[in-house]
Amino acid sequence: MSSSVLSQPGQTTAPAVFRSAFPILETVLAGGKPLIYLDNAATSQKPDSVIAALVDYYTHSNSNIHRGAHQLAARATDAYEGARKTVAAFIGCADPALINFTSGTTQGINLVASGLAKSWLQPGDEVLISAMEHHANIVPWQMACQASGAVLRVAPLTGQGELDLEAFRKLLTPRTKVVAMVWISNALGSINPVERIVQEAQAVGAQVLIDAAQAIVHETIDVETLGADYLVFSGHKVYGPTGIGILYGRRERMEVLPPYQGGGEMIREVRFEGSTYNQLPYKFEAGTPNIAGGIGLGAALNFVTAQDREALARHEQALLERTLTGLDQVEGLTLYGPRQGRSSLVSFTVEGVHAFDIGVLLDQQGIAVRTGHHCCQPLMRQYGIEGTCRASFLPYNTFAEVDQFLHALNRALAVLRA
Amino acid sequence: MKEASGDIALREAEIIEEFSIFEDPMDRYAYLIDVGKKLPELPLALQRDEYLVPGCQSKVWLIGRRKEDRVWFQADSNTAITRGIIALLLRVLSGQPAAAIQRAKLGFLDAIELRSHLSSQRANGLASMILRIKGIAGLDGLETASSDAALPDSSVEPANQSPKQAS
């Protein structure tokens, strides 16, 4: 693909250079169709530098970390702990000991929810989430409520698919002990005012967990400014490998949160009569971790830091605008989430047409989107739909791809409505 | 072809021939969707959860009824492409001897490149449908199937269910 199709007049060629770092985007699918990857909210593609970091680790450094008496172990440990520092710096955390490697967002939420069920939540307490949460930020809290006797409360959305702040405030009471909230909705693209949510929730004495799974690749995150008690995200949504994620927690919270899993690494001393636990962050990292994944995530965040993030964000928003303008022309289309101030994804249904059929026919034209409930069944139920068709963008996407997506969508609808 | 019910292979061959004229996959799907539109709708009263085939991203209801050694099927889906696939499966298998249904390899799905074009999750849905069809064919006399009792006789008469001859 020539760079001319990547930029519009007045734009820098930065997105084209950025795109060239991702080898998979050169893929030609069966039938000779070039891949148009618009499933970025599900997972991002990986740049050369991340792939190279994984290969390099397994080629030159593979070893189990910590406690090894040999050079390879030292090399692997340095790389892994170096990645932890990179993550800390990336999200504005001064203390790398507060950065816990997890398998992903889901494990991070489960770790916190299960710990709070044992150490913080009492019968009659309330856990407040929103109606736009992913199953990963619903089910662990249902389990925590079941275990502790706490009650789950759900803040509703406005007609535009944004958090109803007034209703949220009404639900926020001294009984609210936990607020768990998504930053950017994966199903709607709505962006929540997380700083305000954190402040107001903490003012009533609640601990706040922010699900930054989608936000990590789109927002600049500073946990000190944000002030949340916990923040979780997955590596694979920010150009890193799958199977690695981060739980950040404030020290005073993490010190008292009970361990999630027992095993190697997380202990100080083990006796049959009882064991004592290691210091942060190892207390929450039982077993041999995903060493390569951690190193790969470090490489991914270094890659992001080296970019002109503002320029890329502008490009991403321009892609979104062009898509929204195109979707406005599609008869019978319903867009979910707000029209203004949304993250770079579109989630929609078309009257009389099932999202699954759209997905298959877009796939036939080389376009990868996601269809279904996006792990947000309660949200879909509220809208009275089974699912939506979702196209999500990252800065490596091009205006030409947006145009091809819109063309392919119209072609699919013509076939389905014939 | 007066009596095609004994010949699954013949019906498969017809379908392969019909689909062979399309080079663009979009045309193939347009035809598949068209085939699906001709599938008789399953009455709402029969669109019950107990007839849902698990493992499909779209909803698929499937009911079978056996008469002597043959099995007739009724099925429907809430998505256009799946209706097309169902129409093809029923055209090949409905009214066939139970043993032949169980043995059927259904190679036509590969020949018309349907299986390969579906993502693995969707192919799993297709596999679930086939598994259910074969499962129904494998039930002894089908007297135990809950579907049997619920199905009005008229809707499963061979005359109603026998597939249209390819024109």
Q: What is the pLDDT of residues A170-191, one digit of tens each?
A: 999 999 999 999 999 999 999 9
The confidence band for A297, taking pLDDT boundaries of 50, 70 and 90, is very high
Q: Which of B56, B85, B100, B126 is catalytic?
A: B56
Q: Nearest CA to A101 among A246, A306, A207?
A: A246
For chain A, what is the HEC assignment?
CCHHHCCCCCCCCHHHHHHCCCHHHHCECCCCCECEECECCCCCCCCHHHHHHHHHHHHHHCCCCCCCCCHHHHHHHHHHHHHHHHHHHHCCCCCHHHEEEECCHHHHHHHHHHHHHHHCCCCCCEEEEECCCCHHHCHHHHHHHHHHCCEEEEECECCCCCECHHHHHHHCCCCEEEEEEECECCCCCEECCHHHHHHHHHHCCCEEEEECCCHHHHCCCCHHHHCCCEEEEEHHHHCCCCCCEEEEECHHHHHHCCCCCCCCCCEEEEECCEEEECCCCHHHCCCCCCHHHHHHHHHHHHHHHCCCHHHHHHHHHHHHHHHHHHHHCCCCEEEECCCCCECCEEEEEECCECHHHHHHHHHHCCEECEEECCCCHHHHHHHCCCCEEEEECCCCCCHHHHHHHHHHHHHHHHHHHC
Q: What pLDDT is attached to residue B84?
A: 94
What pLDDT score was predicted for residue B96?
A: 94
Distance from C-alpha of B32 to C-alpha of B19, rounded to nearest angstrom: 9
Whether residues A208 and A342 fall in one domain = no
pLDDT the model gives residue B118: 63
Q: Given an 8 Å threshold on Cβ–Cβ distance, is B25 in contact with A354?
A: no
Quick one: tokens of A92?
A: 């504005």
User: Quick check: B57 and A30 CB within 8 A?
Assistant: no
Residues A27 and A167 in one domain: no
Q: Do A107 and A139 form a contact (C-beta atoms < 8 A)?
A: no
- pLDDT value at residue B143: 39
Within 8 A of B82 by CB-CB distance, chain A residues are 356
If asked whether residues A149 and A216 sit together in one domain, one would say yes
Query: What DSSP designation does B4 have?
Result: -
Query: Do A363 and B119 make contact, defined as CB atoms within 8 angstroms?
Result: yes
Average pLDDT over residues A89-117: 98
| Residue B84 to chain A, least CA–CA distance (Å) | 11
Among A305, A325, A351, residue at a domain's last position: A305
Nearest to A364 among B79, B80, B117 (CB): B117
What is the pLDDT, as a whole number, of residue B166? 35
Is pLDDT of B5 > 60? no
Residue that is last in its domain, among A256, A288, A305: A305
Rounded to an integer, the average pLDDT of B75-91 is: 93
Nearest-CB residue to A354 (from B25, B29, B58): B58
Torsion of CA A141, A180, A40, A240, to 10 degrees: -90
**The pLDDT of residue B123:** 61
Mean pLDDT for A234-248 is: 98
Domain holding A90: CATH number? 3.40.640.10
What is the reported pLDDT for B148? 42
Query: Do A357 and A278 fall into the same domain?
Result: no
> Considering only CB atoms, which chain B residues are within 8 Å of A418?
30, 33-34
CA distance A210 to A52: 31
In this complex, do B58 and A411 lie within 8 Å of one another by their Cβ atoms?
A: no
Sign of CA pseudo-dihedral A246, A250, A252, A257: negative
- Determine the average pLDDT of the residues in B41-67: 88
Do residues A39 and A25 make contact, with C-beta atoms less than 8 angstroms apart?
Answer: no
> What percentage of chain B has pLDDT greater than the value 90?
51
Residues A165 and A203 in one domain: yes
| Residues A237 and A279 occupy one common structural domain | yes
Nearest C-alpha in A relative to B80: A357
pLDDT level of residue B121 (50, 70, 90 thresholds): low
Residue B152 confidence (pLDDT) above 70: no
Which of A359-373, A396-410, B5-19 is modeled with the greatest confidence? A396-410
Mutate to test the interface with B, among A39, A350, A357, A390 (most CBs of B within 10 A): A357
Interchain proximity B26–A372, CB inside 8 Å: no
Residues of chain B with C-beta less than 8 angstroms from the C-beta of A30: 116
Question: A293 CA to chain B: closest CA distance, Å?
Answer: 26
* Residue position matching structure tokens 């970019």: A307
Q: Are residue A321 and residue A273 in the same domain, yes or no?
A: no
As beta bridge partners, residue B61 has B52, B76
CB contact under 8 A, B58 and A356: yes
The pair phi, psi for residue B76, each rounded to 5°, is: -160, 165
For residues A87 and A211, membership in a common domain is answered with yes
Q: Give me the number of domains chain A comprises.
A: 2
User: Mean pLDDT over residues A192-207, rounded?
Assistant: 98
Of the partner residues A31, A354, A361, the one whose CB lies closest to the CB of residue B78: A354
d(CA A385, CA A374): 12
Position with higher pLDDT, A264 vs A158:
A158
- Residue contact B58–A31, C-beta within 8 A: no
Q: Does A416 touch chain B (CB under 8 A)?
A: yes
Q: Point out the residue among A31, A354, A357 whose CB comes nearest to the CB of B25.
A: A31
In this structure, how many other beta carbons lie within 10 angstroms of the beta carbon of residue A377? 15
| The pLDDT of residue B6 | 52
Question: Which chain B residues are within 8 Å of A364, Cβ to Cβ?
Answer: 25-26, 29, 117
**Do residues A103 and A318 lie in contact, with contact meaning Cβ atoms separated by under 8 Å?**
no
Q: B26 vs A416: CB contact, 8 Å cut-off?
A: no
3-state secondary structure of B85: helix
For A363, counting Cβ atoms within 10 Å of its Cβ (0-12 exposed, 13-18 middle, 19+ buried), the class is: buried
Q: Is A267 left (phi over 0), alpha (psi -120 to 50) or beta?
A: beta
Q: Does A353 touch chain B (CB under 8 A)?
A: yes
Instruction: List pLDDT tens digits, range A124-161.
Output: 999 999 999 999 999 999 999 999 999 999 999 999 99
Q: Which residues of A touch B57 (CB under 8 A)?
A: 356, 371-372
Instruction: Report the residue of chain A nearest B56, measured CA to CA.
Output: A356
- Of A353, A372, A415, which is closest to B29 when you measure between CB atoms? A415
Among A93-102, A147-156, A248-257, B54-63, name the one with the lowest average pLDDT: B54-63
User: What ipTM was reported for this prediction?
Assistant: 0.80
In the annotation, is A375 catalytic?
yes
Tell me: do A67 and A212 sit in the same domain.
yes
Model confidence band, residue A14 (pLDDT cutoffs 50, 70, 90):
confident
pLDDT of residue B162: 39
Q: A360 and B118 in contact by Cβ < 8 A? A: yes
Confidence band, pLDDT 50/70/90 cuts, at residue A215: very high
- Fold that domain B8-161 belongs to in CATH: Sufe protein. Chain: A (3.90.1010)
The domain boundary, picked from A271, A305, A339, lies at A305
Residue A354's domain spans which residues? 3-46+308-417
B22-31 pLDDT, tens digit per residue, is 988 899 999 9
Domain boundaries, chain B: 8-161
Q: Which of A23-27, A374-378, B129-133 has the highest mean pLDDT?
A: A23-27
pLDDT above 60 for A332: yes
Residue of A112, A45, A155 lying closest to A259 (CA atoms):
A112
- Using a CB–CB cutoff of 8 Å, tell me whether A377 touches chain B: no
Mean pLDDT of A75-87: 97
Out of A10-19, A39-48, A253-262, least confident range:
A10-19
